[in-house]
A and B are shown apart, each in its own frame.
Chain A
Amino acid sequence: MEQAVHIAAVTRDYLVWIPLLPLLGFLFNGIGWILLREKLPRTVVNWIACLTVAGGFLFSVRGFFDLMSLPVGSYLHQEIFDWVVVGDISAPFGLVLDRLSAVMCLVVTGVGGLIHLYSTGYMGHDHAFARYFAYLNLFTFAMLILVMAANILLMFVGWEGVGLCSYLLIGFWYEDEQKAIAGQKAFIVNRIGDFGFLIGIFTLFLFTGQLDFYGMRAWMADPLNAEFLTKGTLLGVSIATFIGIALFVGATGKSAQIPLYVWLPDAMAGPTPVSALIHAATMVTAGVYMIGRMSFLYVLTPEALAIVAGIGIATAIFSATIGLTQNDIKKVLAYSTVSQLGYMFAAMGVGAFAAGIFHLTTHAFFKALLFLGAGSVIHGLSGEQDMRKMGGLSSKMPITFMTMLAAWLAIAGIFPFAGFVSKDEILWKAFSNSVHATTFNTAVYVVGLVAAGLTAIYMTRLMMMTFMTKSRMEHDVEHHVHESPWTMALPLVLLAVLSVLGGLLNWPKALGGSALFEHWLEPMWPGLHEAGAHAFSHALEYGLMALSVGIAATAIVVVFFLYRSHTDKIKALAENMHLFYEASLNKYWVDEIYKALIIEPLKRLSDKVLFRFVDVGIVDGAVNGVGSVTKLWAELWKRMQSGQVQTYALYMVFGVLLVLCVHFGLR
Chain B
Amino acid sequence: MSPIVIGLDHFLSLSAVLFGIGMIGALVRRNAITVFMSIELMLNAVNLAFAAFAYYRWDTTGQVFVFLVMVVAACEVAAGLAIILALFRNKETVNLDELNVMRW
Contact = CB atoms under 8 A, between A and B. Distances in A.
Contacts of A639: 104
Given A653-B23, A653-B27, A642 B35 contact: no
A649 B27 contact: yes
Nearest to B23: A653
Contacts of A645: 96, 99
A643 interface: yes
B101 A643 contact: yes
A641 B101 CA distance: 11
Contacts of B103: 641-644
A355 to B, nearest CB: 84
B26 A644 contact: no
A653 B25 CA distance: 13
B59 interface: no
A646 B35 contact: yes
Interface string B91-104: 00000110111111
Contact of B96 (A638, A644, A650, A653): A644
Contacts of B26: 646, 649
Contacts of A638: 104
Nearest to A639: B104
Interface string B73-104: 00000000000000000000000110111111
A645 B102 CA distance: 9
Contacts of A653: 23, 27
A643 B100 contact: yes
Contacts of A649: 26-27
A558 to B, nearest CB: 93
A607 to B, nearest CB: 42
B104 A644 contact: no
B27 A644 contact: no
A406 to B, nearest CB: 88
A639 B103 CA distance: 8
B97 to A, nearest CB: 7
Interface in A560-574: none
Interface in A606-660: 638-639, 641-646, 649-650, 653
Interface centre among A638, A641, A645 (most CB of B within 10 A): A645
A643 B35 contact: no
A638 B102 CA distance: 12
B104 A641 contact: yes
Interface centre among B28, B100, B104 (most CB of A within 10 A): B104
Contacts of A641: 102-104
B23 A644 contact: no
A646 B27 CA distance: 6
A607 B73 CA distance: 69
A457 B30 CA distance: 106
Nearest to B35: A646
B23 A642 contact: no
A650 B101 contact: no
Contacts of A642: 100, 103-104
A646 B102 CA distance: 13
A650 B28 CA distance: 10
A262 B103 CA distance: 67
A643 B104 CA distance: 8
Nearest to A637: B104
B16 to A, nearest CB: 13
A643 B23 contact: no
A644 B96 CA distance: 7
Contacts of B97: 644
Given A653-B23, A653-B27, A646 B104 contact: no
B104 to A, nearest CB: 4
Contacts of B23: 653
B26 to A, nearest CB: 6
A650 B23 CA distance: 9
A7 to B, nearest CB: 80
Contacts of B101: 643
B94 to A, nearest CB: 12
Interface string B14-52: 000000000100111000000100000000000000000
A12 B103 CA distance: 79
Given A643-B100, A653-B23, A653-B27, 15 more contacts: A639-B104, A641-B103, A641-B104, A642-B100, A642-B104, A643-B101, A643-B102, A643-B103, A643-B104, A644-B97, A644-B103, A645-B96, A646-B26, A646-B96, A649-B27
Closest 5 CB pairs of A and B: A643-B103, A643-B100, A638-B104, A643-B102, A641-B104
5 contacts: A638-B104, A639-B104, A643-B101, A645-B96, A646-B28
Interface of A: 638-639, 641-646, 649-650, 653
Interface of B: 23, 26-28, 35, 96-97, 99-104
